[in-house]
């Protein structure tokens, strides 16, 4: 059943566990690739006023290249300060990367700025044992969200046993499941169930190719002869960095679908294909996701939230043919967009 407890009475952990729209916050840059504080604030205000329950900052969509630079602290601080303009609680998630020393230092920075949780990105320099020890160390600073990132954008394949071990760590409060692969997604679900923490570890879909199908499905995982129900409660997504007002509506409808509304299930499964097709253009799946961040920026530029598609790396631009694909899906799926909402709030957010 859907919770009837007012948000104001729920803890951050309870809000996260109940299920939220958490946009993966992009990085607003000027043409000379400096932080555009005005538009960075506008993005945060857009997300909060659109109804997003949290923000993930310093993650893949924010561009991993900011880690280890002087840009990370002001970007984290600006998002936290802007979210603090609002009376309601916004769950603040900071991305952390690198080896144990770097990840712990970044978690300590996030804690000092008022962040609630850390999304711990994979590290190719550590084996699975090292990743587990890193998660334990970071968990001593802030609660941890595990992250199964697809290999095409810097992730790696991890075993089912790894997810069992990770979910067994008490400080792990959630997992962003984003391998873009059904087999590997099931590895996470089975790992969480095997750890006996299906009721404590919140699963967030990051499978941008399967968002709505993830959110409407209640999985029955069979472990040692036991059937355990487990579900995705929300999304922590680069795709949800755009069209956020509509994303909030879709998550609420997904909660109704999981609660037994068959009509909602049918509607969402139809929209699942539309959203996946739109994501293919935005994330540039045809070219190995090379243009995924510029694709997000282009959508936000068209709505007036960003001034351009600029990334930290000048070579990071739309792929050949991607702009035409964006034109196609823009015309094909107006019901996925929130242009009117953005238009109504844009001048206020930019003020």
Give pLDDT tens digits for 154-208.
788 999 999 999 999 999 999 999 999 999 999 999 999 999 999 999 999 999 9
Distance CA 268, CA 336 (A): 12
Q: Is the pLDDT of residue 153 over 90?
A: no
CATH of the domain at 231: 3.20.20.70
Task: Measure Cα distances from 8 to 20, 62, 90, 93 in Å.
Answer: 15, 29, 11, 19
Bridge partners of residue 204, in order along the sequence:
176, 234
Instruction: Count how many domains the chain has.
Output: 1
Residue 276 included in any domain: no
Q: Which pLDDT band, with edges at 50, 70 and 90, does 59 fall under? A: very high
The tens digit of pLDDT for each residue in 3-41 reads 445 566 679 999 999 999 999 999 999 999 999 999 999
Question: What pTM, to 2 d.p., does this model score?
Answer: 0.95
Please give the backbone phi and psi of residue 227, each rounded to the nearest 5 degrees, phi first.
-100, 125
Specify if 184 maps to a domain.
yes
**Any idea what DSSP says for residue 29?**
B
Q: Supply the pLDDT for residue 151.
A: 83
The pLDDT, as a whole number, for residue 322 is 98
What residue ranges in 238-303 does DSSP mark as E strands?
none
Residue with tokens 């139809």: 270
Q: Say if residue 150's pLDDT is above 90.
A: no
Residue 296 belongs to a domain: no
Question: First vs last Cα of the chain: how many Å apart?
Answer: 40
Within a domain: 331: no
For the stretch 91-145, pLDDT in tens is 999 999 999 999 999 999 999 999 999 999 989 999 999 999 999 999 999 999 9
Per-residue model confidence as pLDDT tens digits over 94-107: 999 999 999 999 99
> Strand (E) positions, 101-156?
117-120, 144-149
In DSSP terms, 175 is beta-bridged to 146, 203
Domain encompassing residue 210:
7-260
Q: What are phi and psi of 80, to 5 degrees?
A: -65, -45
- Average pLDDT of the chain, as a whole number: 95
The DSSP code for 61 is G
Distance CA 16, CA 89 (A): 11
Q: State residue 3's pLDDT score.
A: 46
Quick count: other Cβ atoms within 10 Å of Cβ 332?
13
Collapsing DSSP states into helix, strand and coil, what is residue 312?
coil
Q: What is the pLDDT of residue 10?
A: 79
Report pLDDT digits (tens) over 297-318: 999 999 999 999 999 999 999 9
Cα separation, 12 vs 83, in Å, equals: 14
| Cα 86 versus chain centre, distance | 21
Asked if pLDDT for residue 264 goes beyond 60, the answer is yes
Rounded Cα gap, residues 337 and 350, in angstroms: 20
- Would 198 be classed as within a structural domain? yes
Residue 4 has what pLDDT?
45
């Amino acid at each position: 059943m859907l919770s009837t407890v007012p948000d104001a009475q729920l803890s951050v952990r309870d809000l996260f566990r109940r299920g939220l729209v958490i946009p993966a916050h992009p990085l607003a840059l000027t043409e000379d690739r400096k932080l555009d504080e005005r538009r960075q604030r506008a993005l945060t205000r857009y997300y909060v006023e659109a109804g997003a329950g949290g923000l993930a900052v310093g993650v893949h969509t924010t561009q991993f290249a900011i880690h280890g630079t002087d840009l990370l602290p002001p970007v984290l601080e600006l998002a936290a300060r802007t979210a603090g303009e609002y009376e309601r609680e916004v769950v603040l998630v900071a991305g952390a990367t690198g080896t144990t020393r770097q990840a712990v230092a970044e978690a300590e920075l996030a804690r000092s700025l008022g962040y609630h949780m850390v999304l711990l990105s994979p590290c190719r320099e550590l084996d699975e044992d090292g990743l587990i020890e890193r998660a334990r160390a970071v968990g001593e600073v802030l609660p941890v969200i595990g992250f199964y990132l697809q290999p095409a954008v810097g992730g790696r394949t991890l075993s089912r046993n790894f997810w069992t071990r990770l979910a067994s760590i008490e400080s792990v409060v959630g997992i962003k499941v984003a391998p873009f692969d059904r087999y590997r997604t099931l590895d996470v679900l089975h790992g969480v169930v095997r750890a006996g923490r299906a009721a404590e570890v919140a699963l967030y879909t990051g499978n941008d190719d399967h968002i709505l199908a993830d959110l409407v499905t209640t999985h029955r995982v069979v472990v040692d002869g036991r059937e355990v129900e487990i579900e995705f409660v929300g999304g922590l997504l680069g795709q949800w960095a755009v069209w956020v007002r509509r994303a909030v509506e879709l998550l609420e409808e997904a909660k109704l679908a999981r609660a037994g509304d068959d009509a909602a299930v049918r509607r969402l499964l139809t929209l699942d294909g539309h959203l996946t097709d739109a994501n293919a253009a935005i994330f540039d799946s045809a070219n190995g996701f090379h243009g995924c961040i510029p694709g997000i920026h282009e959508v936000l530029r068209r709505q007036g939230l960003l001034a351009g598609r600029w990334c930290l790396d000048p070579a990071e631009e739309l792929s050949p043919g991607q702009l035409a694909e964006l034109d196609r899906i823009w015309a094909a799926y107006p019901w996925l967009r929130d242009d009117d909402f953005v238009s109504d709030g844009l001048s206020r957010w930019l003020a």
